[in-house]
Amino acid sequence: MVAVDRAAVYKISGGVGAVAVAAVALHYTGQLDHLLRLFGDPQYLVATAEGYQELGVFVLLGAQLLNIVFAPIPGQAIGVAYGILYGVYWGTFFGMIGTTVGTAIAVVVAKIYGRPIVVSIIGEQRFRKYEEITESADVWPFVILIVLPVIPDDAIAYLAGLTTIRTRRLVIWLSIARFPGMLSLTWFGGGVAAGDWVLLAALTAVITVVSIWVVWKREWIMDTLGDSDGQAAEAE
């Protein structure tokens, strides 16, 4: 008979229950549609943040942290909104604060609650797609996957939390890996605000080409990362 860790069950049930209660409350207060729109419409997000004037940055930071909890929701609009409102430099600065805090939350949640909560957050299909890297003893496979476009950063952060790698090391390196992505989003947002269509076209072209390559070579990338991690383990 398999022993059941009741403490773990209570933690997982409590976490899932809290999210469910929050979702129901948002639905019945009419705020769920508003919340979902924040993640998908940069203009709506910018207008909402501007409505809070000096506190607008906290609206974006809050949206970032919510995006960590609801990982399947794309959060690119948040990075673009940072660039539109605060420019490339300050937008990237504020964005990296939210990114670092969010990454820490994802890693810690995964380490405390384990695989069941990670699967419930990122989805079974996505978990199985990248499950093999959770056996890695090195941070580099996660860093490489996060740097590449198309690969879901938040999902990778949760998966990294399932490894035996120390939390501090994961948070530092994963946050560094997310810097190029945040910079490109705020740069894009700054281009929108300035009406620099040449810059926008160039960024779009580069990201599109790299994204197509990543999708095309995804299996090769995963196999390569798995092989390199295995060789590193043998060397140790």
Mean pLDDT throughout 6-22? 44
Please say if the pLDDT value at position 210 is more than 80.
no
Determine the pLDDT at residue 201: 77
Domains of the chain, by residue range, sit at 11-235
The 10s digit of each residue's pLDDT in 152-191 is: 788 889 999 999 999 999 999 999 989 988 888 898 888 8
Determine the pLDDT at residue 132: 83
Q: Over the chain, what is the mean pLDDT?
A: 74
Are 119 and 227 in contact by the 8 Å Cβ rule? The answer is no
Distance of CA 176 to the CA centre of its chain: 13
d(CA 79, CA 100): 13
d(CA 199, CA 186): 12
d(CA 129, CA 232): 22
Minimum mean pLDDT range among 41-50, 55-64, 143-152, 160-169? 41-50
Are 110 and 160 in contact by the 8 Å Cβ rule? The answer is yes
pTM of the model: 0.71
Please say if the pLDDT value at position 16 is more than 70.
no
Give the number of residues written for the chain: 236
Determine the pLDDT at residue 18: 44
Determine the pLDDT at residue 167: 92
Instruction: Grade residue 223 by pLDDT with cuts at 50, 70 and 90.
Output: low
Alpha-carbon distance values, 179 to 4, 78, 95, 221 (Å):
41, 14, 9, 21
Please say if the pLDDT value at position 14 is more than 50.
no
Instruction: Grade residue 42 by pLDDT with cuts at 50, 70 and 90.
Output: low
Residue-wise burial string across 122-141, b where 16 or more C-beta atoms lie within 10 A, e elsewhere: beeebbebbeebbebebbeb
The 10s digit of each residue's pLDDT in 72-104 is: 455 678 888 888 888 889 999 999 999 999 899
